[in-house]
Amino acid sequence: MMPDFNFQRFAGEIAARHGMRLAADDPAMAIVTLNQLFFEEIIKTLGNYVGEMQESIDNAGRKVERRAGLILSQEVRESANALRQELQKDIDTASLRAQKIVDDLQKSRSSGSFTCSWPFALYCVGITLGFGILAGWILYGKMH
């Protein structure tokens, strides 16, 4: 709302600038009043428009925030899924490697390698026993 019109102040200013005196019933004062009413209506309309624009901007901001939140949460889910898949690949690869190592160890133990087989052990025992008998026979024969 515009402030009240102070006729005396404006009348004095007009007299000082233009050398004219205005009376309260002068037709020029009707124009001043018309301008005042016009500007009050414009200010009221602009105030309403600014309020509507502010509300519209606030609504748009909330929509942008929601949309950004949805986009961010979608990106986080996709990143987490990609990370999960990469970790699962690494786990699967490590599991396969560990299984291969276990399989290799089992094969080496059960394949009957030459140094760990029963026949080789019996052969070694037989040779040792034979050398023991031969040594005993040689030593026993020299003593008698």
86 in the same domain as 26: yes
Please report which confidence band the pLDDT of residue 50 belongs to, taking 50, 70 and 90 as the band edges: very high
- Residue, of 140 and 66, whose pLDDT is higher: 66
Cβ(36)–Cβ(5) under 8 Å?
Answer: yes
| Overall domain count for the chain | 2
Tell me what pLDDT residue 106 has.
Answer: 82
pLDDT in tens, 103-133: 888 887 765 555 557 778 888 899 999 888 8
pLDDT band at 144 (very low <50, low <70, confident <90, very high): low
Whether pLDDT at 100 is above 70: yes
3-state SS, residue 114: helix
Identify the domain containing residue 95 by its residue range: 7-111
Are both 90 and 130 inside the same structural domain?
no
- In the chain, the percentage of residues whose pLDDT exceeds 70 is 89
Whether 58 and 52 have beta carbons less than 8 Å apart is answered as no
Residue 31 lies in a domain: yes
Q: How confident is the model at residue 136 (pLDDT cuts 50, 70, 90)?
A: confident
Specify whether 74 is located in the same domain as 11: yes
The reply to whether 1 falls in a domain is no
Establish if 127 belongs to a structural domain. yes
Nearest CA-CA partner of 2 in 30, 35, 29: 35
On whether both 38 and 107 belong to a single domain, the answer is: yes
DSSP H stretches of helix in the chain: 7-18, 27-110, 118-143
pTM attached to this predicted model: 0.41
